[in-house]
Amino acid sequence: MSIEIKNVSRYFSDTGNEVLKNINLTIRDGEFFCLLGPSGCGKSTLLNQVAGLDTPNEGEILVNGKKVTEPGPDRIMIFQEAALFPWLSVIENVKFGMKAAGIPKEEWDAHAMKYLAMVNLASCRNYKVSQLSGGMKQRVSIARALATNSKVLLMDEPFAALDKQTKNLLRDELEQIWLAERKTVMFVTHSVEEALFFGDRVAMMSSNPGTIKSVFEVNFPRPRHIDSPDFVELRHAILSELRVEVERFENVN
């Protein structure tokens, strides 16, 4: 499924704050697309709009050619905090979205177990949410999202709250899953490294108002190594542009 973002602008009338200005992006079917930018530049707002949790003031977003007006079973959002429901067990959390996804009820258990196994948590199926560590929670929330069979994954800094070791582990897991399922992914991050590890393309945003500043093609093969020469080179290029952006932002304020 492709995502077309056309002339999207967003401002909040209460603050008079122009958050997104004339965003145009097309994300191809099966692409891993990373959105990079300083905090506050409107990344989450844009992702929310693709998810149908927020509406642009101007412009429109098409998913598979159909205009987004509300959340839909073709798209699923994964948040920075795992957002698991603490009143449900791990497996019940994973089954939550299956009703709306139209999966037959008798398949729910097997389907949930398949994705719990994929994130290496099959043995924790009956745990309470409070018994999980931060990394385990985020894994369950990834399993919960994948288990809806949505063709589009929208990930809003899903690893930002995790420690480095867990982050690396989940990064590899997510790459494996993506290579196996080839979903269309829109992945928000403020880590250049993360963007270059995952992205087929990396878009850099500039803030105040939020616009797309440049889009980088990342052509090197997977799995990528963060110390390979082309990785280091591209990271330098992006970082220096990002630095200009952050300094500009600091001067404005």
Partner 1 sequence: MKTLTKKAEAPLWLKILKIIGIIAAVILVWQVVFTLMVEVFEIWKPYVFPSPMRVLRAYKKLITNGSLFLGIGQSMKRILIGYSIAVVIGVVSGMLIARFDFLAKLLRPIVPAIQSLPSVCWVPFAILWYGLAESATIFIVVVGSAFSICTAVDSGIREVNPLYVRAGLTMGAKGAELYTRVILPASVPALIGALRHGWSFAWRALMTGEMMMSSKGIGLMLSQAREIGGINEVTAVMLVIILISMVIDKLIFGLIEKKASRWN
Ligand X SMILES: Nc1ncnc2c1ncn2[C@@H]1O[C@H](COP(=O)(O)OP(=O)(O)O)[C@@H](O)[C@H]1O
Residues that bind partner 1 (CB under 8 A): 51-53, 70-73, 75-77, 79, 81, 83-87, 96-97, 99-101, 128, 130-133, 144, 148
Contact residue for ligand X among 7, 24, 26, 39 (CB under 6 A): 39
CB of 48 or CB of 184, closer to Mg ion: 48
Q: Binding residue for ligand X (CB under 6 A) from 12, 29, 123, 126?
A: 12
Task: For ligand X, give the closer residue by CB, 231 or 249.
Answer: 249
Binding segment toward ligand X, per CB under 6 A, in 43-51, 65-73, 120-128, 239-247: 43-51
Q: What are the Cα distances from residue 77, in Å, to 105, 122, 146, 213?
A: 23, 22, 10, 24
Which residue in 51, 79, 38 sits closest to 204, CA to CA? Answer: 38
Instruction: State in angstroms the smallest separation of the CB of 186 from Mg ion.
Output: 13
Helix, coil or strand: residue 237: helix
Identify any residues that bridge with 124 across adjacent strands, giving them in sequence order: none
Q: How far apart are CA 153 and CA 103, in angstroms?
A: 18
Using CB positions, name the residue nearest to ligand X.
44
Burial (CB count within 10 angstroms: exposed 0-12, middle 13-18, buried 19+), residue 106? exposed
Residue 17 binding ligand X, by CB under 6 A? yes
| CB-closest chain residue to Mg ion | 44
Interface with ligand X includes 44 (CB under 6 A)? yes
Other CB atoms within a 10 A radius of the CB of residue 66 amount to: 11
Pick out residues in 5-44 that bind Mg ion (CB under 5 A): 44
**Tokens representing residue 155 in the block:** 């990930």
Task: Give the residue carrying structure tokens 């989450």.
Answer: 44
Minimum Å distance from CB 162 to partner 1?
A: 16
Give the residues lining the site for Mg ion (CB under 5 A): 44
